[in-house]
Chain A
Amino acid sequence: MLITTPNLAKPDETYARLIATHDGLSEGESHALNARLVLILMNHIGDDMVLAEALRLARDPGAV
């Protein structure tokens, strides 16, 4: 099951780190970084059902 309830211990810090990771990158480089990040996280999660849910939710955030 995809976790949609709060699961980050320090949401502000984690979010800031995500933004900071993109510091100094062009838009194209940022897109490439995001693509790599998605792939890395997908592999970490591994579970097909969870990933399918996440993809659905990302495509249509209204569909929770």
Chain B
Amino acid sequence: MKHDVPERYALAFRLYPYAKSPDQDAARPVRHKAVVVGGGPVGLATALDLGRRGVPVVLLDDHEGAGLGSRALCFAKRTLEICDRLGAAGPMLGKGVQWNLGKVFHDNRLLYEFNLLPEGGHAMPAFINLQQPWFEKYLHDAILAAQAEGAPIELRGKNRVDGVIPGEDHATLEVMTPDGPYRLEADWLIACDGARSPLRNMLGLGFDGRVFEDNFLIADVKMKADFPTERWFWFEPHFKSGDSALLHKQPDDIWRIDFQLGWNIDRAKELEPARIRARVDAMLGPDVDYELDWCSIYTFQCRRMERFRHGRVLFAGDAAHQVSPFGARGANSGVQDVDNLCWKLALVVAGLAPDSLLDTYDSERVYGADENILNSTRATDFITPKTPVSKLFRNAVLELAETVPFARTVVNSGRLSMPCTYDGSVLNGADHPDMPARSRPGSPCPDAPLATGWLLEQLGRGFVLLAIGAEAPERLEADGLTVPCLQLDPTEALAARYLGGVPAAIYLIRPDQHVAARWDSYEEQAVAAALARAMGKE
């Protein structure tokens, strides 16, 4: 009998067509080490990271690839660094559009321009614009490459999870396929099934936060216009196509246009192509030739689960937290979840770290989610003031911004996603007061050029010691791990980013390229203690 696993959305790329798995004919449910539910950017990155760390992983998605419609667009430097660690960044950089210049308008006046002026000496740019389906496709390409090198990753398309039974030491899933239902078991279940997370609902877990009473029309248009590659943002635009508007360049001559429509709208009517064209015409002027590529209307929420870990079930990405798109934090923060989770799960699965290490996934990423929610809530409140007095101050800021420099720093059209520093994490060890704040314990390592290649290329497989202008042994053997030590001469960039006021430094770096602890000289006992702590053994 044929069963149906209907597509809820059209595909941009068919990546992992359904194929029947022997699990479906097994007499008893087959047990897997790790099962990922959801093949969005977060699920794909999780499968890739776990597989590359040697953890056998099965990914289930009720579709067979990347959905059409671009959604996420801006991918931040930290995301690209993580993707580079996962072997996926090259093609993203190749296809993506790089930009640094932004312009902010109020009504018909240009208030000011800004240049992100990225600091030199980093392998990755500050940001690229790339449509989400391409981001997913390149992650999938990296999965194929990893599989070819033996990474134990299996993707199952048209596998829809309809039920979950949590257990002490595993979870059982009920899965529907075109060949009918089957069950499978997971030692560890990673729920990456998106903002509406069926798994979260099946487990009866809450998802509380704030709904913003506003609608945003997203129109991707294809045009051959020679607008510069800049981000243009209008508050109360003179062309009256919305209360705010955004124009942003994507690859393939596609431009992302956002219009803020307000709360009480007729969705169906606003989505009529003629109406959308009227808004776009007013913005671009009458003589610009374009086609509508993809349009959609969104309302935004800022919310998160109270906890991201529920025994053997771990939530990541939009399933765990949702933000408004101002500041491009959705997919970017989801990829940071992956970065944080996978090394911990790999150590726990290998029996090298205690189960409680995974509680720090919860504490560190809840901290990250709160930071993102705070930032995107503030941006949303600035863009769509909620009270008359809030609008009064917002417009006062805009008025001053044209002539008075300080006011420009208050204008908030979305603070671009910066990586999270896990200040106060239980995994953090010793700090040194004279070293730079930007590389304190908990922070992601700033990149730096080396004699050949880049610092970050040397980090991320496991724990690593950096000895910058300092004496240290070649490796440390402790807690079942071999921690190699990278000896580096203090170049200008390394000195500025890692030494600050000291002549030499030892850094212990976690497998997610975050700093665990740092000292001004090597002392085995102290380093071993910090390693144990960073593995959750305290």
Q: Is the interface of A mostly helix, strand, loop or mixed?
A: helix
Q: Which of A10-64 contact B (CB under 8 A)?
A: 31-32, 35-36, 38-40, 43
Q: State whether B406 touches A36 (Cβ < 8 A).
A: no
Q: Which residues of A contact B392 (CB under 8 A)?
A: 31-32, 35
- Chain B, residues 191-202, CB within 8 Å of chain A (1/0): the string is 000000000000
Q: State whether A32 touches B406 (Cβ < 8 A).
A: no
B10 within 8 A of A: no
Q: How far is the CB of B516 from chain A (nearest CB, A)?
A: 31
A40 vs B403: C-alpha distance in the bound complex, in angstroms?
12
Q: Which residues of A contact B404 (CB under 8 A)?
A: 40
B100 within 8 A of A: no
Q: Which residues of B contact A40 (CB under 8 A)?
A: 400, 404
Q: How far is the CB of A53 from chain B (nearest CB, A)?
A: 19
Q: Nearest residue in A to B409 (C-beta to C-beta)?
A: A43
Give chain A's interface residue range (CB within 8 Å of chain B): under 10
Q: Which residues of A contact B179 (CB under 8 A)?
A: none
B397 within 8 A of A: yes
Q: State whether B395 touches A39 (Cβ < 8 A).
A: no
A45 vs B410: C-alpha distance in the bound complex, in angstroms?
15
- On whether A43 and B393 interact (CB within 8 A), knowing A36-B399, A36-B400, the answer reads no
Q: Nearest residue in A to B392 (C-beta to C-beta)?
A: A35
Q: How far is the CB of A39 from chain B (nearest CB, A)?
A: 6
Give chain B's interface residue range (CB within 8 Å of chain A): 10 to 19
- Chain B, residues 392-421, CB within 8 Å of chain A (1/0): the string is 110111011000101100100000000000
Q: How far is the CB of B112 from chain A (nearest CB, A)?
A: 16
Q: State whether B393 touches A35 (Cβ < 8 A).
A: yes
Q: State whether B406 touches A35 (Cβ < 8 A).
A: no
Q: How far is the CB of B410 from chain A (nearest CB, A)?
A: 7
Q: How far is the CB of A30 from chain B (nearest CB, A)?
A: 11
Q: Which residues of A contact B393 (CB under 8 A)?
A: 35, 38-39
Q: Nearest residue in B to A36 (C-beta to C-beta)?
A: B396
Q: Nearest residue in B to A31 (C-beta to C-beta)?
A: B392
A36 vs B396: C-alpha distance in the bound complex, in angstroms?
5
Q: How far is the CB of A60 from chain B (nearest CB, A)?
A: 17
Q: How far is the CB of A18 from chain B (nearest CB, A)?
A: 17
Which of A31, A38, A43 is within 8 Å of B406, CB to CB? Answer: A43
Q: Which residues of A contact B400 (CB under 8 A)?
A: 36, 39-40
Q: Nearest residue in A to B391 (C-beta to C-beta)?
A: A35
Q: Which residues of B contact A36 (CB under 8 A)?
A: 396, 399-400
**Which of A31, A35, A38, A40 gathers the greatest number of chain B CB atoms within 10 Å?**
A35
A40 vs B397: C-alpha distance in the bound complex, in angstroms?
9
A32 vs B398: C-alpha distance in the bound complex, in angstroms?
11
Q: How far is the CB of A26 from chain B (nearest CB, A)?
A: 13
**Which of B393, B395, B410 gathers the greatest number of chain A CB atoms within 10 Å?**
B393
Q: How far is the CB of B151 from chain A (nearest CB, A)?
A: 49
A38 vs B393: C-alpha distance in the bound complex, in angstroms?
9
Q: How far is the CB of A55 from chain B (nearest CB, A)?
A: 13
Q: Which residues of B contact A39 (CB under 8 A)?
A: 393, 396-397, 400, 407, 410
- Chain B, residues 343-356, CB within 8 Å of chain A (1/0): the string is 00000000000000
A37 vs B273: C-alpha distance in the bound complex, in angstroms?
45
Q: Nearest residue in A to B396 (C-beta to C-beta)?
A: A35
A35 vs B407: C-alpha distance in the bound complex, in angstroms?
12
Q: Nearest residue in A to B407 (C-beta to C-beta)?
A: A39
- Chain B, residues 180-196, CB within 8 Å of chain A (1/0): the string is 00000000000000000
- Chain B, residues 152-177, CB within 8 Å of chain A (1/0): the string is 00000000000000000000000000
Q: Nearest residue in B to A35 (C-beta to C-beta)?
A: B396
A40 vs B404: C-alpha distance in the bound complex, in angstroms?
9
A38 vs B389: C-alpha distance in the bound complex, in angstroms?
13
Q: Which residues of B contact A35 (CB under 8 A)?
A: 392-393, 395-396
Q: What residues make up the interface of B, taking CB atoms closer than 8 Å to A? A: 392-393, 395-397, 399-400, 404, 406-407, 410
List 10 tightest A-B contacts by C-beta distance, closest first.
Answer: A35-B396, A43-B406, A36-B396, A35-B392, A35-B393, A31-B392, A39-B396, A36-B400, A32-B396, A39-B400
Q: What residues make up the interface of A, taking CB atoms closer than 8 Å to B? A: 31-32, 35-36, 38-40, 43
- Extra pairs beyond A40-B404, A43-B406 (15, CB < 8 Å): A31-B392, A32-B392, A32-B396, A32-B399, A35-B392, A35-B393, A35-B395, A36-B396, A36-B399, A36-B400, A38-B393, A38-B396, A39-B393, A39-B397, A39-B400
Instruction: List, sorted by A's number, 24 A–B pairs whose CB atoms are closer than 8 Å.
Output: A31-B392, A32-B392, A32-B395, A32-B396, A32-B399, A35-B392, A35-B393, A35-B395, A35-B396, A36-B396, A36-B399, A36-B400, A38-B393, A38-B396, A39-B393, A39-B396, A39-B397, A39-B400, A39-B407, A39-B410, A40-B400, A40-B404, A43-B406, A43-B407
